[in-house]
Amino acid sequence: MGLEFTTSRAADAIAWARKFSLFSYPFVTACCGMEFMSTAAPKYDIARFGAEFPRFSPRQADLMLIVGTVTEKMGPILSRVYAQMCEPKWVIAFGVCACTGGFYQNYGTMPGCDQVIPVDVYIPGCPPRPEQVLDGLMLLQEKIQKHQSNYQLRVLSDAP
C-alpha cells in the first residue's frame, strides 16, 4: 500500500520546492568567507539542503549570503546588488559583522547590513561555525515554508 494521492495548497507546494532549491549569491567581504567555504565543502556539505550552487551573478540567485564586514562605502553597492536579484529573494547575514557591525564600532563600518537591505536570518559568531550556518539555513527553510520571510511579508502586505 503506497501513498496514492496527497493534498496541499499550491502555495505550500511551491514554498516546499523553493526551500530545497536555494541558489545562493555569496557576497563575501571578509574572513567569514573561510567558514562559508568550509560549509560549502564536502565535510559539512551545504548541498544536503539543496543550496550548493553558488551563482556568480545576483540575477540568477534567490538567496544572498552577506559574509563578512560591510562598510559604509559599500552600502550603495550592496543595495544595488540586492535590487538586481529576481524575486522571490532572501537574505542571510553571515557572521556578527554582517549582523551588527561586530566589534567594528567606528567611522567606516556599517552597523549591520540590515541598515540597507532587509535580512531574513541572522547568524552570529566570529566567525560562525559551519553547524551554526546550517542551522541558520534550516531556519530560513522553515521561514520559507511558513511564508514568513521579508519578501513574502511584503507581498502579502502589498495585496489589497
Partner 1 sequence: MSQRILDRMKERFPDAVGDTHAQHGNETAFVARERIVEVLAFLRDDPELEMNYPSDLTCVDLLGLGDGLGELQREQQGAPQDDKPRFEVVYHLYSVTKKHRVRIKCRVPEDDPTIASVAHLYPSWNWFEREVWDMYGIRFVGHPDLRRIFLYEQFVGHPLRKDYPKEKRQPLIRREGMV
Binding residues vs partner 1 (CB under 8 A): 72-73, 75-76, 79, 105-108, 110-111, 114-118
- Sheet arrangement for strand 121-123: 24-28, 63-67, 90-94, 121-123
* CB closer to partner 1, 96 vs 110: 110
Least Å distance, CB 17 to partner 1, is 29
* Closest approach of partner 1 to the CB of residue 146, in Å: 24
Burial class (CB in 10 A: 0-12, 13-18, 19+), 153: middle
Instruction: Give 46 or 99: the residue with its C-beta nearer to partner 1.
Output: 99
DSSP-derived secondary structure for 114-155: GGTS--SEEE-SSSPPHHHHHHHHHHHHHHHHTT-SHHHHHH
Kindly state the smallest distance separating residue 49's Cβ from partner 1, in Å: 28
Q: What is the nearest approach in angstroms of partner 1 to the Cβ of residue 85?
A: 15
Nearest CB to partner 1, comparing residues 101 and 127:
101
Contacts of 115 (CB under 8 A, 6+ apart): 75
Question: By C-beta, is 5 or 107 nearer to partner 1?
Answer: 107
Dist. CA 91–CA 105, nearest whole Å: 23
